[in-house]
Chains A and B, each alone.
Chain A
Amino acid sequence: MNVLPTPVLLAVDWWALGAVLALSAGILLLLLLEFFPAQARSNRSAIVALLTLAAAGWSVFHVRDAKREIFGGMFVHDGFTVFFTLLFCAAGALAVLLSWDYVKRTRINQAEYYALLLSATAGMIIMAASNDLITIFLGLELMSLALYVLVGFQRHHLESNEAALKYFLLGAFASGFLLYGIALLYGATGTTGLGQMAAVMIDSPMLGNPLFLLGGLLLIIGFGFKVSAVPFHMWTPDAYEGAPTSITAFMSVGAKAAGFAALLRVLMRAMGDVQADWIPILSGLAILTMTVGNITALLQNNLKRMLAYSSIAHAGYVLIAVVAGGRDGAASALFYLAIYAVMNLGAFGVLTLLGREREERVLISDLAGLGFRHPALGIALTLFMISLGGIPPTAGFMAKVYVFSAALNAGLVPLVIIGVLNSVVAIFYYLRVTVALYMEEPQGEPVYVSWATPGVIALIASVVLTLWWGIQANGLLAAAQRSVLGLL
């Protein structure tokens, strides 16, 4: 058997891979623990999930300054990876805190729930860290499969089933486009590695190569689906509305950020020199996404649906940052996504507390008078709405300022004008929430608030960060700017 070459064992930096390893271990631990029956209201699974996320975050944070490529450059540990890994772990941890009581209240099966939540997080991390189209795709599928199931977790709930099915079918449809795009790119360049692709293009420019362009376009469509860019957004309101609220919170933040992470890495690593081809397409998508998202959100009566459209609109703002490109463009996208994560998790987090047992109280009219009955909750929700609307001194304002100024520096004046106009329109529906909170009398039975300490902790964290990044944005900004250096 000496005809075989000795297999080359690739050097693996275990720290760099720590987050994925920790999450995998956590998933298995959660499943194995089920052999030992626990009480229905036990906190065991949630605690394991939280510790796993903490370990994952810590392991990456521990080597945050290192820059490694492992598995032959398929998995990259750089600033970009660290930023997104921490973002996903933080979003996951907040989601676990928000789920803590919610899943008990709605009688969701805990072990599987948290195992899937961790899987989705692992998928997101792989998407952000991959430097190869194959692993990006696998990460995306890992995340998506977990999310499909999580969306449909409430089996007793019709809308949850429907949402999961729609999300799954359309997700598979979009994955088809993505895969086809990967195949075409492979055909054009002979490689799936983003680094090699960039190297190939130095030798033979891909400008105007139809295979390459078509492949890139299909890739953008695939990611566009995940970040819910118009016209690939149709699943969003249904899935967000049908999913358990804690999952809506998590996926509205995590899946979007992961989609953008992969899109940014692909565009900036592999397609830098054909940027001119993408600008009109991405600009068009950005304009459509913002406008359709905001205008449709205006008349929603269901908060989850309204926030779904709002999340579509926010994807449009991030697309502006992607179009702007370069160091500031990419950094502003990261900055925006981090801030969006905090404020959106907060907004959905408030919703997880509303209603008792399996009751869903997510209509805007359900909020009537809530601001007076529960002042702290009212102030928190108002703050998140103000921040989502981009009013200072909240973090949402700083996020928009940075994105718009990066876009202006890149000369995208019309895009900025449309963006600012959109953010003006958007205020209207965010305002409706505060109007309901403070200026309406409840009709019928006022909504019951299921207070839960973990959820409150998550909300406090979101409130603090939303304010802190509005008042002192520098730390996050510097981190975002450092993180994108590896892409340039």
Chain B
Amino acid sequence: MTEALFIGFAAMLVASSLLVILHRNPVASALFLVLAFCSLAGIYLLFHAEFIGMVQIIVYAGAIMVLFLFVIMYLNLQRDEEGGVHIALRRGLGWVAGTVVLAEGVFMLARRWAPGPLTPEVPGEAAGNTQQLGMLLFSRYLFPFEVTSLVLLVAIIGVVVIAKGRSTAGSGTRPAPGEDG
């Protein structure tokens, strides 16, 4: 059962991710991204990572994607109208190279599949994995957690810099929230 669900979510994740980059309409792309986030949340749930699954939906699929959609619609982006031999050539080559990389990876892993010697600890359900996560974040992963806050601070500064620069340059558009990782 779990396996079937996993395969289902995974397939949906891959398919919707592909559509994000392949679809020509930016709004549709953004919506597929929402779908991708939801599939990912499903996979988290399957792994008993309920908290992360919820956060994934609330923060990513909810808050961030709304912002994305808002910006896209606000800018009223047209369909991608790129053309020309040069672009077509590069796109073709890109497909070929990407496929080759993928195929190579598959071949390599298919040759001798060897999962790691250690299985990661499964958080005890009794204590509830939100608590477990909190414990880990503030003990073992304290340092990465704090560094992350530094990363976010830098992202904020970056956004301020870009926004400030733009307003002095005299153009009123808002910056894309591109740097918040």
A residues engaging B (CB < 8 A)? 3-5, 7-10, 24, 27, 31, 70-72, 74-75, 109, 112, 115-116, 119, 122, 126, 132, 134-135, 138-139, 141-142, 145-146, 148-149, 152-153, 155-156, 168, 186-191, 200, 203-204, 208-211, 213-214
- Which residues between 24 and 68 of chain B lie within 8 Å of chain A, taking CB atoms? none
Partner-contacting stretch, out of B7-15, B70-78, B162-170: B162-170
- With beta carbons under 8 angstroms apart, the residue of B105, B138, B158 that contacts A116 is B158
Q: A141-B151, A153-B161 are known contacts; what are 7 more A-B pairs with Cβ within 8 Å?
A: A71-B142, A71-B143, A119-B150, A119-B157, A142-B147, A145-B154, A145-B155
| Chain B interface (Cβ < 8 Å from any Cβ of A) | 105, 108-109, 111-120, 126-127, 131, 135, 138-144, 147-148, 150-151, 153-155, 157-158, 160-162, 164-166, 168-169, 178-179, 181
Beyond A189-B117, A210-B108, A211-B115, whether A75 also contacts B143 by CB under 8 A is yes
CB-CB nearest in chain A for B181 = A141
Report the minimum CB–CB distance from A139 to chain B (whole Å): 7
Q: Which secondary structure characterizes the binding site on chain B?
A: helix
Known: A187-B116, A189-B118. A126 touches B147 (CB 8 A): yes
Residue with the highest number of chain B CB atoms closer than 10 Å, among A7, A31, A132, A189:
A7
Chain A residue with Cβ nearest B118: A190
**Residues of chain B within 8 A of A149, CB atoms compared:** 154, 157-158, 161-162, 179
Shortest CB–CB separation between residue A238 and chain B, in angstroms? 17
Given the known interface contacts A4-B135, A72-B140, A155-B168, the answer about A190 and B116 at a Cβ–Cβ threshold of 8 Å is yes
- Given contacts A24-B150, A155-B165, A190-B119, A31 and B142 within 8 Å (CB-CB): no
With the chains together, A414 CA to B87 CA distance in Å? Answer: 40
Bound form: Cα–Cα A210–B104 in Å:
11
Given the complex, which residues of A lie within 8 Å of B131, measured CB to CB? 4
A135 near B135: Cβ-Cβ < 8 Å: no
Interchain Cβ contacts within 8 Å, total number: 127
Chain A binding surface SS class: helix
CB-based contact A5/B135 at 8 Å: yes
**In whole angstroms, how far apart are the Cα atoms of A145 and B154 in the complex?**
7
In the complex the two chains form, what is the Cα distance from A168 to B108 in whole Å?
Answer: 30
Q: Which residues of the partner chain B approach A213 to less than 8 Å between Cβ atoms?
A: 108
Is there contact, CB below 8 Å, between A188 and B161? Answer: no
CB within 8 A of A210: which of B109, B142, B157?
Answer: B109
Nearest 9 A-B pairs (CB), nearest first?
Answer: A190-B118, A155-B165, A149-B158, A71-B143, A138-B147, A190-B116, A119-B154, A188-B116, A204-B117
Cβ contacts under 8 Å, B113 to chain A: 210
Taking a contact as CB atoms under 8 Å apart, the answer to whether B160 and A112 are in contact is yes
* Residue from B131, B142, B158 having most chain A Cβ neighbours under 10 A: B158
Q: How far is the CA of A115 from the CA of B135 in the complex (A)?
A: 32
Chain A residues with CB under 8 A of B120: 186, 190
Tell me how far the C-beta of A323 lies from the nearest C-beta in chain B, rounded to whole angstroms. Answer: 23
Report B-chain residues with C-beta under 8 Å of the C-beta of A138: 144, 147-148, 151
Residue of A nearest to B104 (CB): A214
Which residues of the partner chain B approach A8 to less than 8 Å between Cβ atoms? Answer: 139
What residues on B are CB-neighbors of A31 within 8 Å?
157
Give A265 to B135 CA distance when docked, in angstroms: 29
Are B138 and A7 closer than 8 Å at their CB atoms? Answer: yes
Given contacts A149-B179, A209-B112, contact A27 B158 (CB under 8 A): no
A126 to B135, CA, bound (A): 23
- Cβ contacts under 8 Å, A126 to chain B: 147
- Taking a contact as CB atoms under 8 Å apart, the answer to whether B150 and A142 are in contact is yes
A148 touches B179 (CB 8 A): yes
